[in-house]
Chain A
C-alpha cells in the first residue's frame, strides 16, 4: 500500500462461512521443500526491501550523512544525536501534535460515520446498492484528487466561507491558513522544551474532514460485511424475547461488530499516521507548520539532511508498528488455532 488511499484488504467478518480445505492436503517433505524454494525469491526480495532497507535507514539516522550525493557514514557523536536534535525542534513537536490530533478526530469521524451509515444502509428498503456505491466512491479516488476538491471547498475566499458569510459570520476562519489553536493548553515561551501550543489547530480541520470523507466508505463497507454475517436467528430470538431496537443494537449488533471495529481502527489508524499526499495537496506545511505532518517533514529533509529525514522516518515507523504488529500477531495466533 502506498500512502495513497488504498488500505490493505481487511479481515473477513469474524465468522466466515467459507469452507477451509487447507488441512486436507497430503504433502510429503519433498514437495514442501520444493514449495519453500519457489517461495524463497519473493520472500528474499521482500526481506531486503523491507527489513534490510529499514536497517539502513536506522543506520543513516545514527550517522553523519547529510546530503544524498556525499555519503558520510561515520556515526554521529554523541550516539543518537540526531534524535536528540529533532525532538527539540518546534517543527518536530508541531508534527507530533498534528498527527495525534489528526488521527484522533479522523478515527472518530470515520468509524462512527461508517457505523451509522452502515446501520442505516443495512436497513433501508430502497436503493441500498446506490447508497453503498456513493459512500464508497471517494475511496476509489487518489488523495490528490480529494485534496484538490477540498482545497477549493475550504479556500478562504470561497466555498464554505461564502455560506458562513451569508449567515452573518463576518470573519470566517482562514481554514488551512489559519494559525488559531483551539483549546490551547499552554503558552510556550522561548526557553521551554515544548515549543508548540498543544491543542486543536483550526487549519487541520478541513484536512480531517477531507480524509474522513474519503475513508468513511471503507468503514461502512467493513461494518456492512459485519452486519451481513450476524445470523438472523440472533435477531429473531431477541425479538421473541421482547428486546426493543435499542436493546438489540446494544446487546447483539454492536458486540457482533466488534471485530469490524478493530479492523477499521487498525487500518485507518495506520493511514492517518502515514498521511502525506492529502496534506501536500491541501496545504503543505502551513504557516508555522500548523498543518505539517511527519511525511512532509521527511520529504523536505530528503534534499538537505538525510540523517534528520531518516530519524523522523524511524519514529513514524515505530508509531505504525506499535499498532500493526500486535494486530498481525493476533492474526497469526488465530491462524495457528484454526
Chain B
C-alpha cells in the first residue's frame, strides 16, 4: 500500500477535490437511491440518528402547543387539542426582552464587523513587523472565560454610568467581538489577490482609499459570514446580559431563564418562550446555512 507516501503536506495546496477525473464515468448525480445493501444501511442509520436529534425540537414544539390544557399524558405524544395560548403568555412576558436583544445585537454586530474588517484588511495586506505576534496576542481574547474580566468590566461600566444599560452591553459585545471578527476577515482577505491592492496603490490610492473603494465592495461575503456569526453569538449570549444588565435591559435569554420559577414551572409557556427566543437564529441558520457553516470553518487559527 502506498500509504507511507500520503503524509499531508500543509505548505502545499492540495489538489482541488476532483469528483470525476476521467471522462468515461458520467458525473455522479448529487443524490441517488442507494444501490448496495451497505448504501441502504448508511441511509437507515442517518435517518434514525437524524430523527433522534430532532426529538428535543419536537418536544419543545409539542409542549409549547399543549397550551393551557396541560401537557399530554406521555411526553412524546402530540397534544390532543393543540393551541397557541402558551405563545400569547410567553409573548407578553418576552416581547420587551426580545426587543432589547435586537437593539443589542444589531449595532454590536455591525460595528464589530466593521472594525474586524478594517483590522483584517491591515493584517492581511499590510503586514508590519510583529503583526503576526500581535494578532496571536489579540486572539487570546476570544478564548478567555469572561468571568476572568467581569469584575473590572462591571466597575468600568459603573464608572461611565453605563452599568445596566443597553449601551453598556453593546460596548462590551463590540470589544470582545473584535478578535473573532478580525480573524474571520483576515482569513477572508487572504483569499483576495494582493494585485488588486497593488493596482490601487499604483493609481495613487492610500490605505484608507483602497479599503473604502476597493476592499469594502469585495467584502460582502465576508460580512455575511462574520455578521451571522456575531448575530448568533450576541443574540445567544447569557453571561453578559445576566450580570451586566438591569431588568429593563435584560436580553431575551435572561428573561427566558427567569421564566423557570423557583417552585413551579409552566412548561408549556416556557417552551413557547424557548421557541420565540430560538426563532431568529434558527431562521438565520436555515436561510443562510451555507454562510453559517463557513463561519465555523473559514476562519482559521492555522
Chain A residues within 8 Å of B, Cβ to Cβ: 1-22, 24-27, 31-36, 38-39, 42-43, 45-47, 49-50, 52-54, 56-57, 60, 68, 117, 120-121, 123-128, 130-131, 133-153, 155, 158-159, 162, 213, 216, 218, 221-222, 225, 228-229, 231-234, 237-238, 241, 243, 247, 251-252, 256, 259, 270, 273-274, 276-277, 280-281, 294-295, 298-299, 302, 306, 309-310, 312-314, 316-317, 320-321, 324-325, 327-329, 331-332, 334-338
The answer to whether A149 and B271 touch across the interface, beta carbons within 8 angstroms, is yes
B158 to chain A, nearest CB (A): 9
* Contact A298/B147 with A2-B237, A232-B18 known, Cβ cut-off 8 Å: yes
- The closest CB in chain A to the CB of B126 belongs to A35
Q: For the complex, what is the distance from the CA of A8 to the CA of B175, rounded to whole Å?
A: 15
The answer to whether A11 and B278 touch across the interface, beta carbons within 8 angstroms, is no
7 contacts between A and B (CB under 8 A): A15-B10, A21-B195, A221-B293, A231-B18, A302-B150, A314-B148, A332-B132
Among the interface residues B33, B144, B178, which one has the most CB atoms of the partner chain A within 10 A? B144
The answer to whether A140 and B282 touch across the interface, beta carbons within 8 angstroms, is yes
Residues of B contacting A60 in the complex (Cβ-Cβ under 8 angstroms): 151
The answer to whether B15 and A231 touch across the interface, beta carbons within 8 angstroms, is yes
Residues of A contacting B13 in the complex (Cβ-Cβ under 8 angstroms): 15-19
Q: For the complex, what is the distance from the CA of A133 to the CA of B146, rounded to whole Å?
A: 30
* Contact A33/B54 with A314-B148, A328-B136 known, Cβ cut-off 8 Å: no
- The closest CB in chain A to the CB of B35 belongs to A125
Specify which of B34, B134, B302 is in contact with A12 (CB 8 Å cutoff): B302
The answer to whether B143 and A1 touch across the interface, beta carbons within 8 angstroms, is yes
- The closest CB in chain B to the CB of A152 belongs to B267
Q: For the complex, what is the distance from the CA of A266 to the CA of B270, rounded to whole Å?
A: 33
- The closest CB in chain B to the CB of A71 belongs to B155
B238 to chain A, nearest CB (A): 4
The answer to whether A49 and B149 touch across the interface, beta carbons within 8 angstroms, is yes
Among the interface residues A4, A229, A298, which one has the most CB atoms of the partner chain B within 10 A? A4
Number of B residues, CB within 8 Å of A: 137
Does any Cβ of A come within 8 Å of B261's Cβ?
Answer: no
* Contact A138/B53 with A10-B296, A54-B144 known, Cβ cut-off 8 Å: yes
Specify which of A10, A135, A273, A320 is in contact with B300 (CB 8 Å cutoff): A10
Residues of A contacting B151 in the complex (Cβ-Cβ under 8 angstroms): 56-57, 60, 68, 302, 306, 309-310, 313
Q: For the complex, what is the distance from the CA of A134 to the CA of B234, rounded to whole Å?
A: 22
Residues of A contacting B243 in the complex (Cβ-Cβ under 8 angstroms): 299, 302
Chain B residues within 8 Å of A, Cβ to Cβ: 1-3, 6, 8-19, 21, 30-34, 39, 42-43, 45-47, 49-50, 53-57, 59-60, 63, 71, 74-75, 115, 118-119, 122-129, 131-134, 136-156, 175-176, 178-180, 182-184, 187, 190-195, 197-198, 201, 206-207, 229, 232-240, 242-243, 253, 256-257, 260, 265, 267, 270-271, 273-274, 277-278, 281-282, 284-286, 289, 292-293, 295-302
A289 to chain B, nearest CB (A): 17
* Contact A328/B139 with A121-B46, A145-B278 known, Cβ cut-off 8 Å: yes
Residues of B contacting A147 in the complex (Cβ-Cβ under 8 angstroms): 257
- The closest CB in chain A to the CB of B119 belongs to A42
Residues of B contacting A117 in the complex (Cβ-Cβ under 8 angstroms): 49
Q: For the complex, what is the distance from the CA of A302 to the CA of B179, rounded to whole Å?
A: 27
The answer to whether B178 and A45 touch across the interface, beta carbons within 8 angstroms, is yes
A170 to chain B, nearest CB (A): 18
The answer to whether A222 and B194 touch across the interface, beta carbons within 8 angstroms, is no
* Contact A26/B126 with A1-B180, A31-B207 known, Cβ cut-off 8 Å: no
